[in-house]
A and B are shown apart, each in its own frame.
Chain A
Amino acid sequence: MNRTAPWLAAPRLLLALCLSLLMPLVAQAQQQGLEIDIVGGNASALPIAVVPMPYQGSASAPETDVARVIREDLARSGQFRGLPEQDMAERPTRGSEVNYPTWRALRQDFLVVGRVVDAGGGAFRVEYELFDVAKQERMLGFAMTGGASAMRDVAHQISDAIYEKVLGVRGAFWTRVAYVTATGTGQNSRYALMVADADGYSPQTVVRSNLPLLSPSWSPDGRRLAYVSFEHNNNSAIYIQDLNTGARERVASFRGINSAPSFSPDGRRLALTLSRSGNPEIYVMDIASKALTQITNQFGIDTEPTWSADGSTIYFTSDRGGRPQIYQASASGGGATRVTFQGNYNASASVSYDDKKVAVAQGSGNVYRIALLDRSLGTPRWSTLSPGSLDESPSFAPNASMVLYAAREGSRGVLYAVSADGRVRQRLVLANGDVREPSWGPYREQR
């Protein structure tokens, strides 16, 4: 396998060119990556030692420290606790070098060893093995190949394989996130829609604007983003942009609000909010024909539609009962039923892949936090995932193991990724300016 994500390559030039014609380019502040640090910990996390994987080839070593990327991925999930490198008494690189007693003495449940070798044509092969220390068994033994620039992608996929082997749940480390950055104020405001790896690395600009950008939504194949921009007549309009080619289409620019796009699970339809009737209502657009089906028809603000995994149900925010709450309705229209009953303000629903968990921004007085509604056990159970006061825009990872959200610290916006049990949080900060409107992309497929 050999996948340098194609949208990172040549088409980007074309995209940049198109965009520079559209809007003045901004300083490189918005090209900066997100700084990351981990907050909190989980005492019950599984101890795992990911031993450094040295380069054993004859060319120059790849820049990426593969073992470190894997260690950080697993730690961020909240499910694993990585053994610090300096505590590793031995540094095996293959199964035959593993002494189980060493790792038992270090109280490790799992052990990952590996090495990086030449794969020809400037590519590298990472050969790795996963061991169960107590059972003294090899659980995995694989090799993955990629170019020097794809080593982080390779490492994330190894993390995914380890996560799935140990926990029985598909890993979501090899995924991407979209978010909006904002710098400057008033006339000097600059906005950028960005896409980066789920750990904040490799940020790429999708679109820039002098006017607000918001609500990015991924197509299920990860190739397109729908988003809202105010660049057309200073009013909200919905665009769909192809990440490979940079080509984009304005799909909704009616009178009033055009906002809150959300791709259906089959990628053919877009749920959205339009106020062309005089009041914000939920519609479903057939993307090919642009035909609209109205889902809600109610005095009150109906917005933020999002789909159930099977595409049959649309969840949305409505203040038809007085304050904003989450409701659900059939994707073909008809009556709506209320989903949230705790908290006097519930908005911005993100639904897990199995429809059992709903993450919301929950408000009480001046405090807004991310709350999780778990419906897997009959009676709904609530938990609070975030400790901030202006937390918003929750977005589930595709495996529902983590939730990405936006928070305010002082007067700037930052992003957090929190494990679904609320125990481990990772902070993603832009060096300069605001980060907001996070949206976790789908699983990536090897091409």
Chain B
Amino acid sequence: MKTTTRVLLTALMCTAAVACSKKVKEAPPATDTGPSTGTMTDGAPPVAGAYGPNDLDTDACLRQRVVYFDLDQDALRPEFQAAMACHAKYLRDRPSSRLTLEGNADERGSREYNLGLGERRGNAVSSALQANGGSGGQVSVTSYGEERPACTSSGEDCWAQNRRVEIVYTAK
């Protein structure tokens, strides 16, 4: 129950953040960005509202880097659509950025099967990012199965936290 509430709250915040980001976002100052400023040199002037690397730490939607799943499921829950949209937008805005989707499962059942399940969840997030306009070339998927639990006690509260995909930016 607690988890559901938390997730819903987060989802609401995300939606709000996405709504806001349109008007608030500015192109980051040129001095801020690292050596490769792919977005800036595409010819076009920086589009108003384009994400920059700092937004990964400050933007409420982009800061959501964990996607949770139901038992034995790899279907993306609706509340994560907003997060998919903003991460996909980040990938579009920053073509040099790269991320790894780390798929995880809870401890029940076979470790090897859970490795497959973790990958399936990673692929589901990858598909959602691409459906939102992210490029497949920027995304890679790794499965840890049940080997990297976020929570180590046995029980649904804990299991729900472990059925997840973590979005890890390997290049901002």
Contact = CB atoms under 8 A, between A and B. Distances in A.
A215 B142 contact: no
B58 interface: no
Interface in A366-393: 366, 368, 390, 392-393
Interface stretch (B8-16, B28-36, B75-83, B107-115): B107-115
B148 interface: yes
Contact of A304 (B112, B142, B144): B112
Contacts of A278: 123
A363 B108 contact: yes
Interface in A396-423: 408, 411
Contacts of B142: 234-235
A347 B113 CA distance: 8
Interface string A79-112: 0000000000000000000000000000000000
A304 B108 CA distance: 16
B154 A256 contact: no
Interface residues of B, number: 23
B5 interface: no
B64 interface: no
B109 A303 contact: no
Contacts of B111: 214-215, 392-393, 436-437
Contacts of A411: 152-154
A301 interface: yes
Given A236-B115, A257-B115, A280-B119, A214 B147 contact: yes
B101 to A, nearest CB: 12
Interface of A: 185, 212, 214-215, 230, 234-236, 256-257, 259-260, 273, 275, 278, 280, 301, 303-304, 317, 319, 323-324, 345, 347-348, 361, 363, 366, 368, 390, 392-393, 408, 411, 436-437
Given A234-B142, A368-B108, 11 more contacts: A212-B144, A215-B112, A257-B115, A273-B115, A273-B116, A303-B112, A324-B110, A347-B113, A366-B108, A390-B108, A408-B154
Interface of B: 72, 107-113, 115-117, 119-120, 123, 141-144, 147-148, 152-154
30 contacts: A185-B152, A212-B147, A214-B111, A214-B112, A215-B111, A215-B112, A234-B142, A256-B119, A259-B112, A259-B115, A260-B112, A273-B112, A273-B115, A273-B116, A275-B119, A280-B116, A301-B116, A301-B117, A303-B112, A303-B113, A323-B72, A324-B113, A345-B109, A347-B109, A347-B110, A363-B108, A363-B109, A390-B107, A392-B109, A437-B111
